[in-house]
Amino acid sequence: MLNPQLVMYDEEQKQIEKIASKLHRDSRSKTILLVDKNGQLIASAGEVSHLDTTSLSSLVAGNVAATGGIAKLIEEDEFTGQYHEGKGISIHLTLVGRRAILVVLFDKNTTHGLVRLRVRKASAELAKIFEELALKAASTPMPSVFDEITDEDIDNLFND
């Protein structure tokens, strides 16, 4: 499969969250989101309680998919980053290991230059973790919890 299933384990989740928190601090940004390319939120740091992170993740992924499509059409490899400047809040998007999107929301408390600098380091670290995850997922069989899913379990999901 071109796009293997993303599997996350405790150990890597903690490492990722640590990197996100550090990036949040060091870049003096408001919010960090790490989003799977398919639009699912993997981790976050900073101010998130007032944000609809599910919607944001899906739109960010749609946006990156669209620019990726544009890149292909003009025979550019893939745009690795995007920057949208707002009056109050700006947003910086970076592709991480072709698998995830690192999103930084920031305001006047910092500068785009500082954000870019800190993101470079963090995304290199994250890319390494995603590589390890892919290897780990490929060599670890799925735990038996999924073997035990019954048709009844599935039916129960839909009974309110």
Distance of CA 60 to the CA centre of its chain: 9
Residue in 18, 26, 54, 114 binding another protein, rule: CB under 8 A? 54
- Considering the complex, what minimum distance in angstroms separates the CB of residue 109 from another protein? 28
Establish if 157 lies at the interface with another protein (CB under 8 A).
Answer: yes
Neighbours of 117 (CB within 10 A): 12
Nearest Cα to 105, choosing from 19, 159, 30, 34? 30
**C-alpha distances out from residue 53 to 5, 49, 80, Å:** 21, 9, 22
Establish if 138 lies at the interface with another protein (CB under 8 A).
Answer: no
Tokens, residue 22: 């550090």
Establish if 65 lies at the interface with another protein (CB under 8 A).
Answer: yes
Establish if 85 lies at the interface with another protein (CB under 8 A).
Answer: no
β-pairing, 90-96 vs 31-36, is unpaired
Establish if 49 lies at the interface with another protein (CB under 8 A).
Answer: no
Residues that bind another protein (CB under 8 A): 1-10, 12-14, 36-40, 42, 52, 54-55, 58-59, 62, 65-66, 68-69, 73, 141-143, 145-149, 151, 153-158, 160
